[in-house]
């Protein structure tokens, strides 16, 4: 029976192993084994092989080759073996996602799985079994300063949800100035990856992390330390788009609520984007209509009340966080103004809470789930070509808190 199976596979190989196309015929061995009809694919030096193990009726214990046959696989147009990077490019996904698909370290479903399977089949790619370049990331630390902000709490919730599909644990740590405490935790927990929720990194902590060769991802912002991977939206373009949305509704007096605009911070980029939008519309963003403070509900409320006390005229509020926008709405209601009847309000982030409010908040949505997936994927391999700055798409989400200016 086994010999008949071998002859059948040989006939298949001879039929498809022609010289008229990019087919490469290689040598494949069937060895005695314990499990009937199991097939394991492997890739070696530009070729792909298949090793089959005849079933339990085969003689065991000899350790010698029992049968040989030829099989075939495709090469690329240059005659080189197909790589995981080529499969990823053909499928339109990351190499880490392809790796997860073949290794089963986490679930890849739906259209993504179908695209990867189709690309691998078309290219003739067969994965190496048991020889992955991925490392086991062990534990990943998430460092944060303040989970009271909706953006960070939403991001952490999504990271925890997504981490269940991966083979490692998240350790959530509040930021403090005690670097020795972190050193002990990192050592005891065997932390091999860090996700940072801050743009302004603690220099002592980051130097320790880099000295230990621990990969770090900055979630949602850019950092001065370019050794870290950064995953964020284009803050300048996103804020510009949000401002254009309000300008398209004929708002010209827009109160901007921003965090402190430090050099390369998201606040600086967003202010720049707003100014650019006004310039493109032939309008001017007055400096007195820009207010600064922490991106919290309390500050949103305080800054709008302050602007009203100062007698500033504005028909719209553009807050650089949803939480700040909700505080602004509270201040407007407290002052007898309706939203959007008297004043339109635009947020930033696309948090779950803001979408449940009445009126539903118009906002610039950040793709937090995609960002979480990219952050966690970063620890799956040690590819030196892994992009250090990953810019993800944003979108304007029209809610019920903005209307055309009278």
Q: Which residue has the higher pLDDT, 174 or 323?
A: 323
The average pLDDT across 170-190 equals: 81
Per-residue model confidence as pLDDT tens digits over 199-235: 666 777 878 888 888 888 989 877 666 667 889 999 9
The predicted pLDDT at position 33 comes to: 39
Q: Which residue has the higher pLDDT, 260 or 271?
A: 271
CATH 3.40.50.2300 fits 139-233+370-391, yes or no: yes
d(CA 257, CA 300): 7
The predicted pLDDT at position 136 comes to: 52
> pTM of the entire structure?
0.67
- Residue 389: enclosing H or E segment and its boundaries? strand 389-392
d(CA 340, CA 349): 19
Domains of the chain, residue spans:
2-123, 139-233+370-391, 235-369
Per-residue model confidence as pLDDT tens digits over 261-283: 765 578 889 999 999 999 999 99
Q: Residue 173, Cα to own-chain centre: how many angstroms?
A: 20
The predicted pLDDT at position 367 comes to: 95
- Return the CATH fold of 2-123: 434 Repressor (Amino-terminal Domain) (1.10.260)
- Residue 126: enclosing H or E segment and its boundaries? none
The predicted pLDDT at position 307 comes to: 97
> Which pair of structure tokens corresponds to residue 224?
């001065």
Q: Which residue has the higher pLDDT, 6 or 62?
A: 6
- Whether 2-123 shares its CATH topology with 235-369 is answered no
CA distances from 102 to 81, 208, 240, 279, 351 (A): 17, 34, 41, 50, 33
| Residue 49, CA atoms < 13 Å, CB-side half-sphere | 13
Q: Which of 161, 322, 328 is nearest to 254 (CA)?
A: 328
- Return the CATH fold of 235-369: Rossmann fold (3.40.50)
d(CA 116, CA 122): 10
């Amino acid at each position: 029976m086994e010999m008949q199976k071998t002859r059948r596979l040989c006939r298949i190989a001879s039929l498809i192993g022609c010289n008229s196309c990019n087919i490469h015929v290689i040598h494949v061995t069937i060895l005695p084994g314990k499990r009937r009809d199991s097939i394991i694919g492997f890739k070696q030096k530009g070729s792909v092989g298949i090793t089959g193990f005849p079933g339990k009726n085969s003689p065991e214990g000899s350790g010698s080759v029992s049968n040989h046959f030829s099989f075939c696989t495709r090469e690329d147009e240059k005659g080189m073996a197909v790589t995981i990077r080529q499969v990823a490019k053909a499928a339109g996904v990351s190499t880490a996602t392809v790796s997860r698909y073949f290794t089963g370290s986490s679930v890849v479903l739906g259209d993504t799985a179908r695209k990867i399977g189709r690309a691998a089949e078309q290219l003739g790619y067969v994965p190496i079994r048991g020889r992955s370049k991925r490392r086991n990331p062990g534990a990943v630390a998430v460092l944060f300063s303040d989970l009271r902000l909706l953006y960070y709490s939403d991001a952490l919730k999504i990271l925890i949800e997504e981490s269940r599909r991966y083979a490692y644990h998240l350790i959530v740590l509040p930021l403090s100035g005690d670097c020795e405490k972190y050193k002990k935790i990192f050592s005891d927990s065997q932390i091999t990856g860090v996700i940072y929720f801050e743009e302004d990194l603690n220099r002592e902590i980051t130097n320790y992390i880099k000295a230990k060769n621990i990969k770090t991802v900055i979630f949602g912002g850019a950092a001065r330390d370019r050794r870290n991977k950064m995953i964020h939206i284009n803050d300048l373009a996103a804020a510009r788009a949000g401002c254009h949305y309000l300008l398209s509704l004929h708002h010209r007096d827009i109160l901007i609520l921003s965090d402190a605009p430090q050099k390369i911070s998201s606040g600086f980029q967003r202010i720049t984007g707003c100014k650019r939008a006004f310039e493109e519309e032939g309008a001017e963003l007055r400096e007195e209509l820009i207010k600064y403070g922490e991106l919290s509900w309390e500050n949103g409320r305080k800054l709008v009340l302050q602007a009203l006390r100062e007698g500033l005229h504005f028909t719209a509020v553009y807050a650089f966080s949803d939480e700040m926008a909700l505080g602004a709405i509270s201040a407007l209601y407290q002052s007898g103004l309706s939203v959007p009847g008297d004043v339109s309000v635009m947020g930033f982030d696309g948090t779950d809470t803001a979408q449940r409010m009445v009126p539903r908040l118009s906002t610039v949505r950040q793709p937090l789930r995609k960002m979480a997936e990219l952050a966690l994927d970063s620890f799956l391999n040690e590819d030196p070509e892994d992009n250090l700055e990953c810019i993800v798409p944003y979108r304007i989400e029209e809610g019920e808190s903005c209307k055309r200016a009278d």
